Amino acid sequence: MAKPSHREKILTEGLRVVHERGFAGASVRDIVAAAGVPQGSFTNHFTSKEAFCLEILDLYFKGAQATIQRTLRNDSLPPLKRLRAFIDAQIQYLNRIGWQNGCLVGNFSAEASEHSEVIRKRLVEIYEEMRQAVAYCLKAAVKLGEVPRKTQCDELAGFLIASMQGAILLSKTERNSVPLERFKHLIFSTLLR
């Protein structure tokens, strides 16, 4: 098996470091130290910290896209079961990594979007992709009669993504699943009844 390249090590370890310490809190020195590579390796592979952070954002989002395919866009499951599975996957992921790190997409929204226009624009695209996946799932729920015909799927999907990010932020602050569990409960007991 081939040894991971310096670039791969920097991306993998750098993602972990930035996720733990934040966009501003993680220096290039911290990233290369965690990767166990010389500092020059960073500049050999990335034109700037911003370019690096854009790549780790995409690397992180690849995992989210896999979850979206397995849940929201999985036509073999009933739509509301897909939506529940998507939210449960967020809870399980955050529980596994420890609540204090939260969601990198949300963290970058709060921290990096004011410093980098290119990262801000990428975050807008990511949120739109998530919104479209939730809307796809809700439209399937309408078609099957799981939610009322009058449901405005695109609007509701945007609201759900924004609300979930807020719940994740509160869960990060409180370091537990209570805000996300409350969010999930209210969606299924009140909003989608």
1-46 CATH, one of 1.10.10.60, 3.40.30.10, 3.30.950.10, 1.10.40.50: 1.10.10.60
- Calculate mean pLDDT across residues 2-23: 90
Six-digit token string for 155: 């609007």
What tokens does 70 get? 């397995």
Q: Over the stretch 31-65, which tens digit does the pLDDT of each residue have?
A: 999 999 999 999 999 999 999 999 999 999 999 99
Report which of 122, 85, 102 is spatially closest to residue 169, judged by C-alpha positions: 102
**87, pLDDT greater than 90:** yes
How many other CB atoms are found less than 10 A from the CB of residue 65?
15
Q: Is residue 134 scored above 70 in pLDDT? A: yes
Tell me if 1-46 shares its fold with 59-191. no
Which band of pLDDT confidence, cut at 50, 70 and 90, is reported for residue 9? very high
How many angstroms separate the CA atoms of 86 and 80, rounded? Answer: 10
Half-sphere exposure of 144 (CA within 13 A, CB side): 14
Enter the pTM of the model. 0.93
pLDDT at 193 (0 to 100): 82
Beta carbons of 63 and 150 less than 8 angstroms apart: no
pLDDT category at 2 given cuts 50, 70, 90 is low
Burial of 148 (0-12, 13-18, 19+ CB in 10 A): exposed
| Amino acid at the residue 48 | S
CATH class, range 59-191 = mainly alpha
Q: According to the model, what pLDDT value does residue 114 have? A: 83
- Domain assignments of the chain as residue spans, ordered by start: 1-46, 59-191
- The answer to whether 160 and 148 have CB atoms below 8 angstroms apart is no
CA 43 to chain centroid, in Å, comes to 27
